[in-house]
Structure 1
Amino acid sequence: MTKKLDGFRFKQFQIEHSLCAMKVGTDGILLGSWAEPGPSTKLLDIGTGSGLLAIMLAQKSPCEAKIYGIDIDAAAIKQACHNAAECPWPSKLSFDVLPIQSLPANQQYDFIISNPPFFVAKRGELAPADANYMTTTRRQARHLDSLNLDQLMQAVRGCLSPQGQFNCILPAQAKQIDELAEAHGLYCQRRTWVFSKANKPAIRQLLCFSKFQNDILQDNLVIHTDAGGYSDSYKQLCQGFYLNF
């Protein structure tokens, strides 16, 4: 789901314009709305991009919270810094050009979030005129070339505090994700299956992991009604971030 969402605003913004550089997609909105940071004060956004999830967490987190966003794309971090400066919570936010594998081993976080790359890149080079062509930075953001799920889980396990949570969004078809996480000492606590419409197959899964093994809480979320509008459940989930909800 890569479609840009028109009319997106943070409800608590005291500025009249939206963030000009903010790239807003359905996956990010779903994850940022679904995530529950609670009282967490040390938060990490892996692959922050333009800072969308980090700023959503800033809106939802305690006043003393510090959110650290990292990305391997310097241009994305520049956008994230700009967007953070324009939002009401700049003191909560900081960003760095840094791969998760280079995060200091002694850094631990209460709450980690990621909208990770999960598409397998096409082999070979494509011409810019090809419909499937992607720039290098977009390929890094969307594909598994620079960070696969095994590497992500291993890195999260190392920097997640003992009581911490890791939240992410993946395709519904992602196979054996629970087994992969468990191999790194992470256990699914909560899963929401996301459907574009009620009569369609699931397209995404929202996931919350921790270092403790419990029964998994599962539910479903349908984004659109049969008539094409947003469902009541989607509006309720995302209403903190849409003025028209």
Structure 2
Amino acid sequence: MKPFKFKQFEIQQSANVFRVGTDGVLLGALANVDFAENVLEVGAGTGLISLMLAQRNSKAKFLGIDISEVAVHLTDLNFKNSIFSSRLQNILHDFKTFETHEKFDLIVTNPPYFETSDSSKDKIARQNVELNFYQLISKSSELLSENGVFSVIIPFEVGADFIKIAKENQLFLKRRINIYGIENSKIKRLILEFSSNEKKLEESDFIIEKSPRKYSDQYLELTNEFHVFKKEDRN
């Protein structure tokens, strides 16, 4: 499978690991990493999100964790081949049993979200198979620093349940970005950020495409420092 080339790094891909997609790019570009010194990516896959965040924050250190040996191999390769390699680390481990004395200023993830499916494609990465929302949230709550942020991208349909489970684990919604696939459509995804401190909710909207296969100005501006756009993408 061909690598996906960004301006400052390259992502080697595999048919057995969830590939570079819009969800990961959006989270990598929008997650609040400015304040963070110690970042954990849960289910790192190819390492895309950590690499984007490393480009945005030149001081933070990153740890990726994944249960898939193939994914860990890819992430290792992509981390080592990047100009940010000295700040990137990756491990093979089940997040449910992950133990560390470290606390993280940012925990970020594009989590599994299809409850059931007959397809074996991307089974671990795309389904609620190895890590359900409750396990993800409760473990993240344990590992966050005092002012840490938990940042995710999920389908709109599961947003209310996710927010409820987070609150039960003393994580309160502080930022919500409503993602629209195309202008004047229904909300497709949510980027949600939580912290252990209750604060006034910051809410905004984001549109990916202004028309079919034509990126919005909002998306072009957001990802300009990452994507290598073709001329037709901008028209």
With structure 1 as the length reference, what TM-score do the two structures score?
Answer: 0.86
Structure 2 residue 143 is the aligned partner of structure 1 residue 133: no
1:196-224 deviation per Cα after TM superposition (whole angstroms, max 9, x unaligned): 11221111001111111112111111111
- Residue 37 of structure 1 is matched in structure 2 by 33
Does the residue aligned with 2:147 lie in a helix, a strand or coil?
A: strand
User: Is residue 2:52 matched to residue 1:68?
Assistant: no
Alignment of 1:183-194 (within 5 A): 183-194=168-179
Q: Percent identity, please.
A: 30
Report if aligned partners of 2:43, 2:110 keep a CA contact under 8 Å in 1.
Answer: yes
Which residues in structure 2 correspond to 1:117-156 (within 5 Å)?
A: 117-122=112-117, 132-135=118-121, 138-156=122-140
Task: Look up the SS of the partner of 1:134 in the other structure.
Answer: coil
SS of the residue 2:215 aligns to: coil
Question: Size of the alignment, in residue pairs?
Answer: 225
Q: Secondary structure at the match of 1:225?
A: strand
**Cα distance, 1:19–1:176 mapped onto 2, change above 3 Å:** closer
* Displacement of 1:173: 0.8
1:83-122, aligned counterparts within 5 Å?
A: 83-122=78-117
Correspondence for 1:47: 43
Aligned-CA RMSD value: 2.0
Paired position in structure 2 for 1:127:
none
Secondary structure of the residue that 1:214 maps to in structure 2?
coil
Structure 2 residue runs of 5 or longer lacking an equivalent are none
- Cα distance in 2 between the residues matched to 1:139 and 1:236: 33
CA deviation after TM superposition for structure 1 residue 106, in Å? 2.4
Q: Does 1:27 align with 2:14?
A: no
The answer on 1:157 being equivalent to 2:141 is yes
TM-superposed CA distance for 1:120, in Å, is 1.0
Gaps of 5+ in 1: 123-131
**Whole-Å separation in 1 of the counterparts to 2:34 and 2:148:** 11
Residues 11 and 48, structure 2, Cα contact 8 Å, conserved in 1: no
Q: Quote the Cα distance in structure 1 between the aligned partners of 2:71 and 2:203.
A: 33
Residue 229 of structure 2 is aligned to residue 237 of structure 1: no
**8 A Cα contact 1:8 1:241, kept in partner:** no
For 1:180 and 1:216, locate their aligned partners in 2 and report how far apart those are by CA, in whole Å: 17
Q: 1:179 to 1:20 in 2, by over 3 A?
A: closer
Q: Which amino acid aligns with 1:218?
A: E
1:7 Cα deviation from its structure 2 partner: 9.6
Mapping for residues 144-223 of structure 1, pairs under 5 Å = 144-174=128-158, 175-223=160-208
Please, what TM-score do these two structures have when normalized by structure 2? 0.89
SS of 2:224's partner is helix
Contact 1:121-1:144 within 8 A present in 2 as well: yes
Aligned to 1:78: 73
- C-alpha deviations, 1:42-96, integer Å up to 9, x for none? 1100000111111111111233x21000000011000100011111111111111
1:11 Cα offset (Å): 2.4
